[in-house]
A and B are shown apart, each in its own frame.
Chain A
Amino acid sequence: AQSVTQPDIHITVSEGASLELRCNYSYGATPYLFWYVQSPGQGLQLLLKYFSGDTLVQGIKGFEAEFKRSQSSFNLRKPSVHWSDAAEYFCAVAALNQAGTALIFGKGTTLSVSS
């Protein structure tokens, strides 16, 4: 069965420092992978997605992620974190089949930014 694991429940990073959030997936075929961000009490905003091609994908707000098939990983990175990046981050994989598409999410990583 498809699954997504985000090993870090909570991460604290100093403002201006670099960030890496980990995501591992389990999927039998080529996955479609996503990172979403959620501010408290809000919906989900798509940061970036990987469908195929270049394994390093660029997203909004200065985020990037790298797809590594050999490690079944899709880690999210940002070179310099801003206080406004504090939020919940979710990695997701799309389970594609003939019937449609359901996103399978990890449990999320809470990012806190210290000054």
Chain B
Amino acid sequence: DAGVTQSPTHLIKTRGQQVTLRCSPKSGHDTVSWYQQALGQGPQFIFQYYEEEERQRGNFPDRFSGHQFPNYSSELNVNALLLGDSALYLCASSLDRAEAFFGQGTRLTVV
């Protein structure tokens, strides 16, 4: 079992650009959640996808959007990047409603 896999592992973007991060859930999981973890902080919930629909959303602007594909994999898109978007982006998958398994994350640096 490969667990939750995320790509890429590191990414450097320029302010104003757009970025897409990808996540493959753990085998058998149908729900994908995304979190943003700023340096020195705990992860913050961005949104959750289930059955290809956004089921729940945290307090993040519309610049953050996502998608879930029929195979349950997911993408996180961030438009008009700001310096403050620099963070570790974590993907978590689950089958139960509460037990989430996390990937290794994508480190995004905006310069």
Binding site for B on A (CB under 8 A): 4, 32, 36, 41-46, 49, 51, 90, 92, 94, 96-97, 99-108
Contacts and interface: CB of A to CB of B under 8 A. Distances in A.
A43 B105 contact: yes
A44 B45 CA distance: 14
Contact of B98 (A44, A90, A94, A107): A94
Nearest to B10: A41
Contacts of A97: 56
B43 A46 contact: no
Given A43-B90, A51-B98, A108-B42, A102 B33 contact: yes
Contact of A100 (B41, B48, B99, B103): B48
Contacts of B58: 102
A100 B100 CA distance: 12
B104 interface: yes
A100 B50 contact: yes
B102 interface: yes
B105 A42 contact: yes
Contact of A104 (B45, B97, B107): B45
Interface string B61-103: 0000000000000000000000000000010101001111111
Contacts of A44: 43, 90, 92, 102
Given A90-B42, A106-B42, A100 B90 contact: no
A104 B16 CA distance: 29
21 contacts: A32-B98, A43-B4, A43-B102, A43-B103, A44-B43, A46-B101, A49-B98, A92-B42, A94-B97, A97-B56, A100-B56, A101-B56, A101-B97, A101-B100, A102-B33, A102-B56, A103-B45, A105-B42, A107-B40, A107-B41, A108-B41
